[in-house]
Chains A and B, each alone.
Chain A
Amino acid sequence: MIAPIISIRNMHKWYSGVHALRGVSLDINPNEALGLIGDNGAGKSTLINILSGAQTADEGEIEIDGALVNIRNPRDAMDLGIETIYQYNSMVPTMSIARNMFIGREPLKVSLFGIGIMDQQKMRDDSVKAIADVNLHLRSPDALVGELSGGQRQGVAIARAMHFRSRLMILDEPTNHLSVKETAKVIGFVQSLKNQNVTSIFISHNMHHVFECCDRVVAMARGKIVLDKRIEDTSIEEVHEVL
């Protein structure tokens, strides 16, 4: 039995009147690609927002490598190695690719109290490398993110998450609002994550994508986990049935 990287214990979340998470417990094992599915409003985003520090739980615990952690904000999560690619885009369109790659984590040449001169050459070089590492082909790290297609943007977001060697990569519907072709590209990135043994949570409404990209499928409904199986032990039909 392998020890899980991340354990979520008895997680609860209320939004004034809505009980969005009703005692969710989940173990995420190393090198596992976990597909999280469920109807609109099932609580998927709420669950992963708590992991990525965008929201805080009302009750429940998170353990990383067996140690209790306290995630109060996105920075805490990032420092713990949790990288998130959000449903909406996590890039600033008016900034260059290189600058976007390092927002909030700029390499500094000299600094005082955390403020300092950025090493822009390193930012450029590292972004070129990171982007090449996810097999994305972009000409210049100085191009504005706003000029990229939706799929390319998500590619850069994935490259960024990979660059910071995350322990856990969370992708919350990364193919939302993308064309079929762009979706195929992003699914390609996610599949390559699985091949590179990156631990990930992949949220999608598309069962086929989940079955293509993941080792394990977890289904949520009304704030609870209703199914948790390895891909080879279940089928699209069975998952449909519980939802």
Chain B
Amino acid sequence: MGANLDFMRKFDYMKRALKVYMEKPELAALVLLVGLIILFQYLSDGVFLNANNLRGILGILPEIGLMVIGVTILMIAGEFDLSVGSVFALMPMTMAVLMADGTPFFFAFVAGMAFALLIGFVNGYLTVKFAIPSFITTLGMLFIARSLTIVISGGFPPLLPNDLPNWLFTVFVGPGHLFRMSFIWFVLIGVAASLMMSRTNFGNWIKATGGFLPAADAMGIPTARVKIAAFMLCSVLAGFAGMLQVLRLGSPLPSIGEGWELQAVAAAVIGGTALNGGVGAVIGGVIGAILIRVIDNGLVLSQVDSNWFKFAIGFLTIFAVVANSWLRKRAKSMKVET
């Protein structure tokens, strides 16, 4: 009898833990990721996880990943940014043009970051002040920022100087030189962003603002400022990511980041971020970003026609959302007390 009770208690405990995990919105993406890695490893005859290929994946990952972190946080705050792909190109182009004029890297960097922050501020200010859907303001900014990138480049990209601090951003480091410095930046910023969302009062305000705006207002949260700050963070991360890509490629192409704004939204959604705000986690977005890189790379290695890439992203986006809502429903119907 006693042993039986003990068993029941353990079983209950396990069920409760399962329920908690099933309710985590990033779970579906994580399961998919592991599944796909195994699949690609098999399809590519073991090439997928070898050092050379990992180097390739981990080299681009920080660029989309940093953008996704910003987009995820902004979506949790209840807003959208479609201009990140353009800011991704504009920020490094600003730097390149300034450096071509003889500005030292550091000052060009500060100017580029300031420009990205300004764009984020304009996006946020217009959205909040005039109560326009951010879909509209940032759609406009998508065109404006892309156009500015091409205009300031003068038609063809300026040459980058030779004395760039590549040791800080692009050199290979780590065991077996598996990743670049950019990956370290990505991890540091990812951890900081994640802690900000889960541990700080500012993270609490972001969730409240996106979760239910009237309640956040009634509790005295400066929701307008919270939203504008989230826009600025999103924009500055996109700009920084763009600079990482330009330093990796060695040339500021005006077309980089095209279409990435939608990939970033897809990654956030795959990672469990709700479209209408309030729900989501930085780690989910990061998993979504990894998934996208893994699919892109895995399809190539498996010698699948690369035109299937967008199909896969689209399919995954829908699939992850459906799987999440199914999991949550199952979790809700589990009869355990929490």
Q: Is the CB of B200 within 8 A of A103?
A: no
**Chain B residues whose C-beta falls within 8 Å of the C-beta of A73 in the assembled complex:** 220
Contacts of A114 in B (CB 8 A): 201
Contact check, A116 vs B338: say whether CB atoms are below 8 A apart. Answer: no
Is the beta-carbon distance between B202 and A93 smaller than 8 angstroms? no
| Tally of contact residues, A, Cβ under 8 A | 35
- The contact string, 1 if C-beta is below 8 Å from chain B, for chain A 110-122, is 0100111110100
Q: Is A240 an interface residue (CB 8 A)?
A: no
CA distance A91 to B211 in the complex (A): 9
Tell me whether chain A's interface is mostly helix, strand or loop, or mixed: loop
| Complex Cα spacing A116 to B216, Å | 18
Assess A92 versus B211: contact at CB under 8 Å? Given A74-B220, A84-B218, A103-B219: yes
What per-residue 1/0 map shows which CB atoms of A66-105 lie under 8 Å from chain B? 0000000111001000001010111111110001001111
Report the Cα distance A117→B219, complex, angstroms.
Answer: 19
Q: Is the CB of B212 within 8 A of A92?
A: yes
Chain B: minimal CB distance from A8 (Å): 20
Q: Is the CB of A54 within 8 A of B218?
A: yes
B337 near A139 with CB under 8 A, answer yes
Complex interface: chain A residues within 8 A of B216 (CB):
92, 103-104
| B279 proximal to A (CB < 8 A) | yes
A140 at the interface (CB under 8 A from B): yes
Partner of B219, one of A90, A93, A108, A118: A90
**Does A173 sit at the interface, judged by CB under 8 A?**
no
Decide if B151 is an interface residue (CB 8 Å cutoff): no
A115-B202, A118-B200, A118-B204 in contact; A94/B212 too (CB < 8 A)?
Answer: yes
Bitwise, A184-205 to B at CB < 8 A (1) or not (0) is 0000000000000000000000
- B114 in the interface, Cβ–Cβ < 8 Å? no
Query: Looking at the complex, which one of B199, B221, B338 makes contact with A103 (CB distance below 8 Å)?
Result: B221
- Whether, in the assembled complex, B109 has its beta carbon less than 8 Å from a beta carbon of chain A, the answer is no
Assess whether A93 is in contact with B199, with CB atoms less than 8 Å apart.
no
Q: How far is the CA of A74 from the CA of B218 in the complex (A)?
A: 6
- Chain B residues, CB < 8 A from A111: 201
Known A115-B200, A118-B200, A143-B338; judge A94-B207 contact (CB<8 A).
yes
Shortest CB–CB separation between residue B24 and chain A, in angstroms?
13
**Is the CB–CB distance between B215 and A89 below 8 Å?**
yes
* Least Cβ–Cβ distance between B109 and chain A, in angstroms: 24
Distance between Cα atoms of A52 and B205 in the complex (Å): 20
The reply on A106 being an interface residue by CB < 8 A is yes
Is B211 a contact partner of A86 (Cβ separation < 8 A)? no
> A93 to B216, alpha carbons, bound, how many Å?
11
> Given known contacts A99-B204, A106-B201, is B220 in contact with A94 (CB within 8 Å)?
no
Across-interface contacts of B211 in A (CB, < 8 A): 92-95
A86 to B217, CA, bound (A): 12
Residues 211-238 of B, flagged 1 when their CB comes within 8 A of A and 0 if not, give: 1101111111100000000000000000
A75 touches B220 (CB 8 A): yes
Q: Knowing A99-B207, A116-B200 are in contact, say whether A92-B220 is a contact too (CB < 8 A).
A: no
Separation of A116 and B278 alpha carbons in the complex (Å): 20
CB-CB < 8 A to A84: which residues of B? 218
- Cβ–Cβ < 8 Å partners of B337 in chain A: 139
Structural contact, A117 and B221, CB atoms closer than 8 A: no
CB atoms of B218 and A118 under 8 A apart: no
Q: Are B278 and A118 in contact (CB under 8 A)?
A: no
CB distance B201 to A108 under 8 Å?
yes
**Chain B nearest Cβ from A211, distance in angstroms:** 28
B96 interfacial contact with A, CB 8 Å:
no
Whole-angstrom CA separation of A75 from B217 in the bound complex: 9
Q: Is B286 an interface residue (CB 8 A)?
A: no
Q: Does B64 make an interface contact (CB < 8 A)?
A: no
Q: Are A94 and B279 in contact (CB under 8 A)?
A: yes
Task: Point out the residue from B205, B214, B220, B278 that lies within 8 Å of A88, measured CB to CB.
Answer: B214
B27 at interface (Cβ–Cβ under 8 A)? no
- Give the residue of A52, A53, A89, A116 whose beta carbon is less than 8 angstroms from that of B201: A116
CA gap between A68 and B337 in the complex, in Å: 50
**A78/B200 in contact, CB under 8 A:** no
A117-B199 in contact (CB<8A): yes
Interface residues of B in 163-204 (CB under 8 A from A): 199-202, 204
Q: Decide if B266 is an interface residue (CB 8 Å cutoff).
A: no
Q: How far is the CA of A52 from the CA of B204 in the complex (A)?
A: 22
Question: Does the CB pair B338–A139 fall under 8 Å?
Answer: yes
Q: How far is the CA of A53 from the CA of B154 in the complex (A)?
A: 53
CA distance A92 to B218 in the complex (A): 11
What separation, in Å, do the CA atoms of A140 and B336 have in the docked complex? 13
Q: 19 new A-B pairs (CB below 8 Å) besides A92-B208, A93-B278, A99-B207?
A: A54-B218, A74-B217, A74-B219, A74-B220, A89-B212, A90-B219, A91-B212, A92-B216, A92-B278, A93-B211, A95-B204, A102-B204, A103-B215, A103-B216, A104-B205, A104-B221, A115-B202, A139-B338, A143-B338
Residues on A lying within 8 angstroms of B by beta carbon are 52-54, 73-75, 78, 84, 86, 88-95, 99, 102-106, 108, 111, 114-118, 120, 139-140, 142-143
B residues bordering A, Cβ < 8 Å? 199-202, 204-205, 207-208, 211-212, 214-221, 274, 278-279, 337-338
Sample 8 A-B pairs with CB under 8 A, ordered by A number. Answer: A73-B220, A78-B219, A92-B278, A94-B274, A99-B207, A104-B220, A108-B201, A120-B199
